Amino acid sequence: MSFPNRRQLRRIVKPVWFMACLAPFAWLILRALGLAGDDLGADPIEATQDFTGIWALRLLLVTLAITPVRRLTGFIWLTQLRRMTGLFALFYASAHVLNYLVPDQGLNWAAIIEDILERPFITLGALALTGLIALGITSTRGWQVRLGKRWLTLHRLVYVIAILVVWHFWWQVKEVITEPLIYAVILTALLGSRLIKKKRVRFKPDA
Amino acid sequence: MLIRKPPAIKSSEITPESVYLNRRELLRAAGITTAGMISGTAHGDESDMNFKPLGKLTPSPYSTDAEPTGFADIASYNNFYEFGLDKSDPAARSGDFKPKPWSVTVDGAAEVTGTFTYEDIVGPHPLEERVYRLRCVEAWSMVVPWAGFPLGDLLKRFKPTSNAKYVAFETVYRPDEMPGQRRRLLRWPYREGLRIDEAMHPLTILATGLYGVELPNQNGAPLRLVVPWKYGFKSIKSIVRISFIEDEPFTTWNDAAPSEYGFFANVNPEVDHPRWSQARERPIGGGFFASKVPTLMFNGYADEVASLYADMDLSRYY
């Protein structure tokens, strides 16, 4: 068997991927503590909010990219990294929300509830996070077995969540939408690749 | 558009003497020079730059007692899209900008018009220190010790005619020196405007400095507007044109997103931005402990300016 075999996957690829996914967070912490070249600037809460949000989105898109890249390259083992990547997306999304709740809002629940109910972009974010948490909890082998066929249906929610997250990003930028547009294009491509693939493999039993 | 006839401006409101009335205040502050207050910086390398001290500034009764935000934060956290979209871009990318020599063109409904040097514009006016709250439409705030003089004192020198219902301002367009202008982020040049009564209000100033030194490039050198009861985007930077006009002027953010940014843009905690709350704001400078605090009507200047908008529906004229 070519690289990586099962052992290499477990002992090399997965730990390296784990560290890679954690690296942005480590970078954030170093800057927050003033231990890296630059710090988080005059508004570290805002900087943390943007940074954790963008990495949650990026890792979500990487998660969605794993299947099409596997199909293009034939690297079946990539699938073994999908759950970890998705869980890291949840990790950054959780940091994003905790930063919003505690430093940003100071746990002012009246204001937080008003935000969720009245700011459409925050409503979208809250929905997306709820979905991500549900997928995170049910990502274990045990839940996979327990839910059977319904597990796959549930985890297709990731497509909806990704759309919500890009939309959430789009709605909160002030005017220049270049950056969310780039992510929207990437997401469209990732979702589109699934439609194309579906047609081509329609008659295979195990697409 | 409802065009209110500007109320007659009491001469007591626009004479520079008004700032001298409180002699006790003046004497108390006389010994204080703000030039010495500049602290070292944690953000960027602006501490290495030399900012020219402005000399003695007259204290003003319009100043707030609130603790000013640190110089490093004021000079490193800026929205000035002419230099880029990120808050750190203006400090990082304004090094090529040359604020001297400078000139300002004055045109429109006034008896005196023409192009004037920076010295012509600023020279005759004694500089005051005005410590003002600054509230950004993005729901963060600072307290800035500006150096400047009342805009009304300058405008009166041009003898505006009765057709001057509004004053329009324009930022310089220099894509060679302002990298943000090489992209069409907004419809350049940046333009702003005030109703004439707002422009003549004694709180409205033209600033030439902050913390007792000349304005850093990223803060709108060499000459910028400061209207403390309006969202920060009204306080146009690096001004090269002042026009007295009859109709409501084109304003940049209103043009970019009319449903989100009105002509008036008065700070108002009760009128939310369509996408976010304006009820609270984050005071810059508190690190991770700067949770949001309530925003004040007219940014805390309601006593001074609420009468300007007495018969207006502020949720309509936002």
- pLDDT of B37 reads 40
Closest chain A C-alpha to B183 CA, distance in angstroms: 11
Closest chain A C-alpha to B201 CA, distance in angstroms: 30
Q: Where are the domains of chain A?
A: 6-200
Closest chain B C-alpha to A87 CA, distance in angstroms: 26
Q: Answer whether residue B51 is part of any domain.
A: yes
Domain that holds residue B42: 11-309
Domain count within chain B: 1
For B291, which of A34, A103, A172 is closest by C-beta distance? A103
Phi, psi of B115 (to 5 degrees): -110, 130
Q: Answer whether residue B237 is part of any domain.
A: yes
Residues on chain B touching A34 (C-beta within 8 angstroms): 42
Tell me the DSSP string of chain B.
---PPPPPPPHHHHSGGGGGS-HHHHHHHTT--GGGGPPP-SSTTGGGS---B----EE-TT---SPPPPHHHHTTS---GGG-SSTTHHHHH-TT---SS-EEEEEESBSS-EEEEHHHHHTTSPPEEEEEEEE-TTSEEEEEEEEEEEHHHHHHHT-B-TT--EEEEEE---TTT-GGGGTTSSSSSPEEEEEHHHHHSTT-EEEEEETTEEPPGGGTTT-EEE-TTB-GGGS--SEEEEEEESSPPP-HHHHH-TTTS-SS-B--TTS--SSS--SEEEETT-GGG---EEPPGGGGTHHHHGGGGTTS-TTT--
The mean pLDDT value for B122-130 works out to 97
Q: Model confidence at A205, in pLDDT bands (50, 70, 90)?
A: low
Query: What CATH number is associated with residue B246?
Result: 3.90.420.10
Q: Answer whether residue B6 is part of any domain.
A: no
Helix or strand run (H / E) with residue A127: helix A120-137
Q: Answer whether residue B318 is part of any domain.
A: no
**Residue closest to A53 by CA, chosen among A172, A174, A189, A186:** A172
For A115, which of B77, B277, B287 is closest by C-beta distance? B277
**Pairwise CB contact (< 8 Å): A103 & B290:** yes
How do strand B140-150 and strand B280-283 relate by DSSP bridges?
Answer: parallel
Q: Answer whether residue B165 is part of any domain.
A: yes
**Pairwise CB contact (< 8 Å): A103 & B288:** yes
Chain B interface disruption, residue of A38, A45, A51, most B CBs within 10 A: A45
Residues on chain B touching A32 (C-beta within 8 angstroms): 288
| pLDDT tens-digit series, residues B133-191 | 999 999 999 999 999 999 999 999 999 999 999 999 999 999 999 999 999 889 999 99
Chain A, residues 47-106, CB within 8 A of chain B, namely: 48, 103-106
Q: Is B293 on the interface with A (CB under 8 A)?
A: no
Closest chain A C-alpha to B77 CA, distance in angstroms: 6
Q: Answer whether residue B53 is part of any domain.
A: yes
| pLDDT tens-digit series, residues A134-169 | 999 999 999 999 999 999 999 999 999 999 999 999
Structure tokens at B210: 């902050």
Would you give the distance in Å from CA B113 to the centre of its chain? 23
Q: Answer whether residue B154 is part of any domain.
A: yes
Residues 6+ apart with CB under 8 A from B134: B141, B142, B143, B144, B226, B228, B232, B235
Closest chain B C-alpha to A67 CA, distance in angstroms: 34
For A41, which of B88, B256, B276 is closest by C-beta distance? B88
Q: How many CA atoms lie within 13 A of A11 on its CB side?
A: 5
**Pairwise CB contact (< 8 Å): A44 & B140:** no
- pLDDT of B29 reads 38
**Pairwise CB contact (< 8 Å): A42 & B77:** yes
Instruction: Name the CA radius of gyration of chain A, rounded.
Output: 19
Q: Answer whether residue B104 is part of any domain.
A: yes
| pLDDT tens-digit series, residues B222-273 | 999 999 999 999 999 999 999 999 999 999 999 999 989 999 999 999 998 8
**Range from A38-42, B21-25, B60-64, B254-258 carrying the lowest mean pLDDT:** B21-25
Q: Is the pLDDT of residue B82 over 50?
A: yes
